Chain A
Amino acid sequence: MRSSRPLRNGLVLSLVAAGSLGAQGLTGAGATFPYPLYSKWFDAYNKKTGVPINYQSIGSGGGIRQFAAGTVDFGASDGPMSDEQMAAVKGNVVHLPTVLGAVVLTYNLPGLGAARFRLDAPTIADIFLGKITRWDHPRLAALNPGLKLPKTDLIVVHRSDGSGTTYVFVDYLSKVSPEWKSKVGASTSVSWPIGLGGKGNEGVTQQVKQLEGSMGYVELVYAISNKLPVALVSNSAGQFVEPSLEAVTAAAAGTRLEKGTDFRVSLTNASGAKAYPITSYTWLLVKVDTPDPARAEILRDFLSWMITPEAQQMAATLGYAPLPAEVAGLIRDRIKTLRSGGRPIG
């Protein structure tokens, strides 16, 4: 592991011709969902400070595995590490939320016009359990008075590849439907009771676009940039909420974090009248104690920058929901407790 570092850093160094700090670049690996944002952040941070950060978007599972193996300075994941995984790294890990993501339901219903389709939690669960298979089902009609729903089959499209998006969606379903929890459960890939599998957001979107009467789930960022029709979902306060960056941030604000939290909280089905219910943090995984003091310092500096309004604003322009101010404050406090070789950093 160690032997590859000088080589990699050397490569990075020669590419960016950074200053003296450049020799101490960071490497990270993990989630693909926040990759567009991370690459922009790392680029901006490099221009600002000369510190190169090399990030491989190999997926959350790979990020956790590489972090546990110690081959990267930080990991990134859309789902928190399990207790067993935490035990495997002897608890030497902190989850730090970076931004928020959300999952939206998109559909192909010609003739709906500008009207918005509405869904509530039990109905979404029953659709994905295969219990509601037609658009003219009485429960869909009851949720959407005034809409003329076609008398056709409802075809479910889901992600076929393991993904954080799937994790957030099924985590939500597990929370709102006991039947889903017992029959299917939550993971980055699950055994779907029904439906077609599309690879990636683009695969799901394409199948939904091509199949009249289909419904699938995709990331909010993707739905926004592709202008997909998305359903309003009723939250725990009974309000139908349009998925938007504000509604996503509201979900995080509505979930109270205790002082000294480890941030491994699920935001799905959050309380708050304006909260969109299928929402999640995405995390960076860093060591509580980074042995190399210089490296620990660089990491700490980056983490502190990442929660500044400047960096969080960058997130919003790319379609990621920024963290609520209180959460950013808690993260700042947590970063101060990071250590190097048992001593405070710097």
Chain B
Amino acid sequence: MTDSATAVADPAAADPAPQAQGPVSALEGRNWGDLAFRGVLTTGALAVPVLMGFLVWELWVGSRLAVDQFGFDFVTASVWDPVAGQFGAVPLIFGTLVSSFLALCIAVPLSLGVAIFLTEFAPTRIRQPIAFVVELLAAIPSVVYGLWGIFVLIPFLRATIFPFLRGLFGFLPFFQGPIYGPSMLSAAVILAIMVMPYIMSVSREVLLAVPPSQREAALALGATRWEAVISAVVPYARSGIIGAVILGLGRALGETMAVTMVIGNRHEIAASLFAPGYTMAAVIANEFTEAATDIHFSALTLVALVLFVVTVLVNAGARILIWRVARGRPEGGRGL
């Protein structure tokens, strides 16, 4: 097995001795071990798109009733009335996008800061423990985050941060109106805490992979450590960092439980971040089990389909951004 594995990995380096035919036979698939290994891997790789296909198919079939009844209006209307059988998803789409975007606004600078600190500035002794603690955040179940949000975070935000923001930025429509506690902003803060470990952890790995020569070159040219990080290290790791942000975004878009518990669940588009909102994932979690009528059930399935499409679109957009960034500005981006 080991022999043939190396042979496949590097056929050109096959030894000239008796088994000269080894690599050839492995390539032609006459080695059963290899064949089985390859079959298992292929099955695994194919299973992902097949699963995805089943998922979309199921959502597609389940949402036919709602699609027939509402058509495109579903993504332009904003009434959600299970009694009258009227369903429109605009406030849900709005809530999902806004809460995730806000969460990234909070989480990205924080987690990048931590990642840079841990790779560039922190004393070696504390690097591992801090990274470990941040990564531990990812292991906490989201319902625990939700409970913590209700009992600890919301009372704290309502008593301190929110009035402070309203006092400071009260002239903006985003920070006006009554402060209840459960709100779009509370959801964004919870989400930020939840996606931080992902962004931090991946960014840190990426920054660690930047060759020391990058830093040394910048320092040798007389840059301060700060300048070296900003001009040499971060640009080198740029596409990896964006990848980390996308990972965080995906998590934020799909997060259900914690958001449901702190967002206030109001089917409405409000300018103020202190006002309650709603997300697609939250409405499914809230109403799916008790959706008694067929059209309600179908509308919720359609919400799931829309969420899927939105997630795919946002991810595709972000990927295009990476390609642009990686290709657009050559200095640093390509490495040495």
Name A residues whose Cβ lies closer than 8 Å to a Cβ of B: 32, 58-62, 64-65, 79, 82, 85, 153, 155, 160-164, 184-192, 195-199, 203, 206-207, 210-211
B182 touching A162 by the CB < 8 A rule? no
Cβ-closest chain B residue relative to A30: B289
Per-residue CB contact flags for chain B residues 279-310 toward chain A (1 = under 8 Å, else 0) read 00010011111111100010000000000000
Residue B210 lies at the interface, judged by CB distance under 8 Å to chain A: no
B292 touching A160 by the CB < 8 A rule? no
Residues of A within 8 A of B291 (CB): 61, 162, 188-189
Interface positions, chain B 27-53, Cβ under 8 Å from A, are none
Please tell me which one of the listed residues B79, B182, B282, B285 contacts residue A207 in the complex, with CB atoms under 8 A apart.
Answer: B182
Cβ-closest chain A residue relative to B300: A162
CB contacts between A and B, total, < 8 Å:
102
Chosen A-B contacts, 22 in total, with CB atoms closer than 8 Å, are A82-B292, A153-B178, A160-B282, A163-B290, A164-B290, A186-B83, A187-B82, A189-B82, A191-B80, A191-B83, A191-B84, A196-B182, A197-B264, A197-B266, A197-B276, A199-B286, A203-B150, A207-B180, A207-B181, A207-B182, A210-B158, A210-B181
A199 touching B180 by the CB < 8 A rule? no
Residue B81 lies at the interface, judged by CB distance under 8 Å to chain A: yes
Q: How far is the CB of A101 from chain B (nearest CB, A)?
A: 15
Interface positions, chain B 255-290, Cβ under 8 Å from A, are 260-261, 264-267, 276, 282, 285-290
Given contacts A197-B276, A207-B181, contact A59 B265 (CB under 8 A): no
A61 touching B292 by the CB < 8 A rule? yes
Cβ-closest chain A residue relative to B292: A61
What is the bound-complex CA distance between A164 and B290, given in angstroms? 8
Residue B151 lies at the interface, judged by CB distance under 8 Å to chain A: yes
Residues of B within 8 A of A62 (CB): 289-290
Residues of A within 8 A of B267 (CB): 191
Q: How far is the CB of A219 from chain B (nearest CB, A)?
A: 14
What is the bound-complex CA distance between A211 and B82, given in angstroms? 28
Q: How far is the CB of A202 from chain B (nearest CB, A)?
A: 8
Which of A64, A184, A203 is most buried by chain B, counting CB atoms within 10 A of its CB?
A203
A199 touching B181 by the CB < 8 A rule? no
Q: How far is the CB of A22 from chain B (nearest CB, A)?
A: 29
Residues of B within 8 A of A190 (CB): 81-83
Q: How far is the CB of A93 from chain B (nearest CB, A)?
A: 14
